[in-house]
């Protein structure tokens, strides 16, 4: 009965023009939206805590490449446990909506902060860079290369903790080489390394 009730609520929400709940997660408000989908502030009803829910856009649900990237992000985040990397809790799919659940970090992206302040004092900049470097070191030690580090993918919490977001274009060094196509640039042009821009397969830390 509980599952049927959730499905009925989901259908009703879709008919009303939006999603209000996915499984045990009640969507409260949209935090942001990008090419792959949207991120919502949600309430984990079962655990009585707030979480961030990343929902893959429906238009990409049938695209094997997008779906693989989305699942790769969830897998990578789930395998990494570090204070400077956003923690992943769960991954799921309901009524055609693919989503994964992350810790909710109250704060703002480094990109937004730079837009507001213009530039950071050197000591604050160094502090953030050091924190991000520690997170990347942990990822590298566990066999992951992020490949898209940029201000938009770093959130600074209200306590001043820098956390790395968006592991969607990360690559496990144990992945077969054919999973990363030659001559296909992966990343963000303003921030990618020369070897990424050339579309090379082997991009290391």
Per-residue pLDDT at 36 exceeds 90: no
Give bridge partners of residue 54 from the DSSP assignment.
39, 100
Q: Is 71 left (phi over 0), alpha (psi -120 to 50) or beta?
A: alpha
Q: What is the pLDDT of residue 114?
A: 95
Beta-carbon contacts of 129 under 8 Å, excluding residues fewer than 6 positions away, are none
- The tokens for 18 are 């939006």
The active-site residue out of 44, 123, 148, 204 is: 148
Q: What is the pLDDT of residue 159?
A: 95
- 170-186 pLDDT, tens digit each: 454 444 433 344 444 55
148 as an active site residue: the answer is: yes
Mean per-residue pLDDT for 116-120? 94
Per-residue burial over 83-101, b if 16 or more Cβ lie within 10 Å, else e, is ebbbbbbbbeebeebbbbb
pLDDT band at 104 (very low <50, low <70, confident <90, very high): very high
Q: What is the pLDDT of residue 15?
A: 37
Run of H or E residues at 102 = strand 97-103
Per-residue pLDDT at 96 exceeds 70: yes
């Amino acid at each position: 009965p509980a599952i049927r009730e959730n499905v009925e609520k989901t259908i009703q929400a879709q008919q009303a023009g939006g999603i209000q709940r996915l499984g045990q997660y009640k969507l409260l408000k949209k935090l942001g939206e990008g090419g792959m989908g949207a991120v919502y502030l949600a309430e984990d009803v079962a655990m009585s805590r707030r979480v961030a829910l990343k929902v893959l856009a429906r238009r990409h649900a049938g695209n094997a490449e997008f779906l693989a990237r989305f699942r790769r992000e969830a897998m990578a985040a789930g395998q990494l446990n570090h204070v400077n990397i956003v923690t992943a809790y769960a991954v799921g799919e309901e009524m055609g909506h693919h989503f994964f659940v992350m810790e909710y970090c109250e704060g703002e992206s480094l990109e937004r902060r730079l837009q507001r302040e213009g530039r950071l004092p050197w000591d604050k900049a160094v502090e953030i860079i050091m924190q991000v470097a520690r997170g990347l070191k942990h990822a590298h030690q566990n066999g992951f290369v992020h490949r898209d580090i940029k201000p938009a993918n770093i959130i600074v919490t209200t306590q001043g903790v820098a956390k790395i977001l968006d592991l969607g274009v990360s690559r496990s060094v144990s992945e077969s080489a054919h999973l990363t196509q030659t001559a296909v640039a992966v990343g963000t042009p303003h921030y990618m390394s020369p070897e990424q821009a050339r579309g090379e397969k082997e991009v290391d830390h």
